[in-house]
Structure 1
Amino acid sequence: MQAGAMHGVRPAEQPLIDRLREMANQADGEYRPVLTSFLNPRQRVLAEMVGAKAGVTVHGNGGFTNAEMQRVLFAPDYFVPEASDYAVTVLECQYPAKFTTLHHSTILGSMVHHGLDRSVFGDIITQDGRWQLAVSAPLTDFIAMNVTQIGKTKVQWQAVSAADILRVHVPFRDLVTVVSAIRVDAIVAAGFNLARSQVKELVSSGDIQINWLSERRGDAQLVPGDMVSVRGHGRVQLVDILGITAKDRWRVALKVLVK
């Protein structure tokens, strides 16, 4: 592990760690808040680690209550953030709901097709046919002017007030269980009550992601904060490693979201 690297950080995460460390040190050195782009839950764990080392507080906001993707503020102790400090705007998609159906994947695809990096917009949520998207505030006009079609459907985007933001409950359940190893195949098998043979097939088929990146190694090691997405089943997050049992198995705390 290179100098300055932190325990539990994968080599692929080191560039992000370096960027976050620079921002945290800037917040500390200049005694002012510094804002990141949208970070997923694992990236926010890294931000918390960096913030603790730099001696700054870490705040997050993604526009929605309990948002998965959030912008993070590294800030001195004196700073109490307001919603406007995160520069997040929630847009609602206006479309002919009586005649067409939108999907998360097509909305996401439209954003990426228009050159928007995943870090500049947050959660896409729906309720009763309504669709809302959290975006970095400076991109509001760009999206309104350029993302005018999703698939074959003409759309418009309108900023919504705090009172009109959707509040969707994501039904994660807590699970404390015992596994033979802190690796992706064991955690997936425990989280969804699957046989190892089923998990092996999901891995080989490319149906598993760790922190939104494809993973084809069943023996990939996990660390607290990792989110594992399993196509057709849902998500399982390793929340904490609680210790080793008398039979040398690992007791873990998970959060599980079943589709």
Structure 2
Amino acid sequence: MDISQHFRRDEQEFIDQVLAWKEQVENSYIPKLTDFLDPRQQHIMETLIGKHEILRLHKHGGGPYTERKRMIIAPMYEPIDEADFELVLLQTTYSKKFITLTHRDVMGAFLSLGVKRKKLGDIHAKDGVVQILIAKEIASYVQINLTSIRQAKLKFETQPLSAFLGEEKHWKETECTVSSLRLDTVVKEIYKLSRKDAANYVEKGLVKVNHKTVENPALLLQEGDLLSLRGKGRSKLVTINGQTKKEKRRITTAILK
């Protein structure tokens, strides 16, 4: 497999890590559990390992609609169950009379503890309830140290994974034609902007691709890329459907409703 045809140069470090995990399991026959991975990283693992003759990939994020998941590379014969993913659901409640906590508030408070993002899965913050899915190895530390977010005093308690309130995400798909797969061109089409405004948003660091800020309007997008434009929501390039006779690209995009 020519990896360069399928992935970007800045993904090479993660690709090397996946290949090292693969070799480790092939040689030791001991399953490998990853940290939480975003959808793009999950796609990379599935591409590199998904059809392996003696290995099987398993993934679980703590609920049926979670986006970030931990993955296990295991020998084909190895039984894997929920406990093997070492996931913990922490929940707290607060009075929403005087304050409303958002996903961003919870994320910021978590990262302020000095814990790496890869140890945190999905977050639910709605109607006075905050839930976080985290790696088991940091659960006690987070319970002890995450005692407030903004002005709200909190006490996180462990709950069964089945209690996670994350909801299914609904995407509205649209088929369109674009002159190229440049980031600014696709952002322009999805968010109904002028080409100039789309490029300016990118250059100002307001656009993320696969959860990473990108400031290069000329970045060429790939099938499955997740996008977000600050203040205007999340979207994705679902499929690339070929070219027109005028060499434009037919694509299917989707925006999160």
1:188-240: CA deviation from partner (whole Å, max 9, x where unpaired): 12222222122122113221011121111111111122211111111121222
Q: Aligned residue for 1:135?
A: 134
Q: What is the SS of the residue equivalent to 1:25? A: helix
**In the alignment, is residue 166 of structure 1 matched against residue 165 of structure 2?**
yes
Match of 1:28 among 20, 26, 29: 26
Give the secondary structure class of the aligned counterpart of 1:156.
Answer: coil
Using the alignment, how far apart are the partners of 2:107 and 2:91 within structure 1?
14
Using the TM superposition, give the Cα deviation of residue 4 of structure 1 relative to its aligned residue in structure 2, in angstroms: 7.0
**1:123 — aligned with what?**
122
- Tell me what 2:61 maps to: 62
TM-score under structure 1 normalisation? Answer: 0.91
| Deviation for aligned residue 1:101 | 1.6
Cα shift at 1:245: 1.6
Alignment partner of 2:5: what SS? coil
Match of 1:219 in 2: 218
Residue segments in structure 2 that go unaligned for 5+ positions in a row: none
Structure-2 change in CA distance of 1:209 and 1:167 (3 Å): closer
Q: What stretches of structure 1 move > 4 A for 4+ residues in a row? A: none
Closer, same or farther: CA 19–54 of 1 in aligned 2, 3 Å: farther
Alignment RMSD: 2.0
Structure 1 alignment gaps of length 5 or more: none
In structure 2, relative to structure 1, the CA distance for the partners of 1:105 and 1:176 (3 Å cut) is: same
Match of 1:50 in 2: 48
On the 8 A contact 2:33/2:73 being kept in 1, the answer is yes
How many Å separate the matches in 2 of 1:169 and 1:106? 22
Query: Does the 8 Å CA contact 1:121/1:134 hold for their aligned counterparts?
Result: yes
Taking a change above 3 Å as real, the CA distance of residues 66 and 25 of structure 1, as seen in their structure-2 partners, is: farther
TM-score (normalizing by structure 2): 0.91
Matched residue type, 1:111: F
| % same residue | 29
Q: Secondary structure of the residue that 2:231 maps to in structure 1?
A: coil
Displacement of 1:53 in angstroms is: 7.0
Q: 1:176 to 1:92 in 2, by over 3 A?
A: same
State the alpha-carbon separation in 2 of the partners of residues 58 and 179 from structure 1: 35
